[in-house]
Structure 1
Amino acid sequence: MATTNPLQFIQQVRTEISKVVWPTRREVMLTTVMVFIMAALVAVFFALVDILIRGGLQQILTYFG
């Protein structure tokens, strides 16, 4: 493996960074809102599953208890 001169390395890094397509402010905001919505939906889903499991276990325990 060939070693690279630090100056060449910095030039290569700058070249690669210039190829990056950065998201617009609108895209970042939209993605952020979507993440919050999905997190809320997942939280509601797991809360409902938790309530159903807890209710089912209470029914079973009162039946056998």
Structure 2
Amino acid sequence: MATTNPVQFIQQVRAEIAKVVWPTRREVFLTTVMVFIMAALAAIFFALVDLGIRSGLHGILTIFG
């Protein structure tokens, strides 16, 4: 197993961190808005599916129950 000198390790970490491309404030804002919109759409979709299943089950139980 290769061992790395702590100083060399810190230099390598700094070199890798320098390669990171950080998102701009606008990109962060837009992706956050998109996440909230998708979460709202998913909540509406699952609420409608739940309503449909509940209505269907209620109808079946009314007929056969």
Instruction: Report the TM range for the smaller structure's normalisation.
Output: over 0.9
- In structure 2, runs of 5+ residues without a counterpart are none
What is aligned with 1:11? 11
Structure 1 segment 1-65 matched on structure 2, within 5 A? 1-65=1-65
Q: Deviations over 1:1-59 (max 9, x none)?
A: 31000110001000000000000000000000000000000000000000000000000
The alignment-based identity, stated in percent, is 82
Once residues 41 and 31 of structure 1 are traced to their aligned partners in structure 2, the CA distance between those partners, rounded to angstroms, is 15
What is the root-mean-square deviation of aligned Cα atoms in Å?
Answer: 0.5
- In structure 1, runs of 5+ residues without a counterpart are none
Amino acid at match of 1:22: W
Amino acid at match of 1:15: A
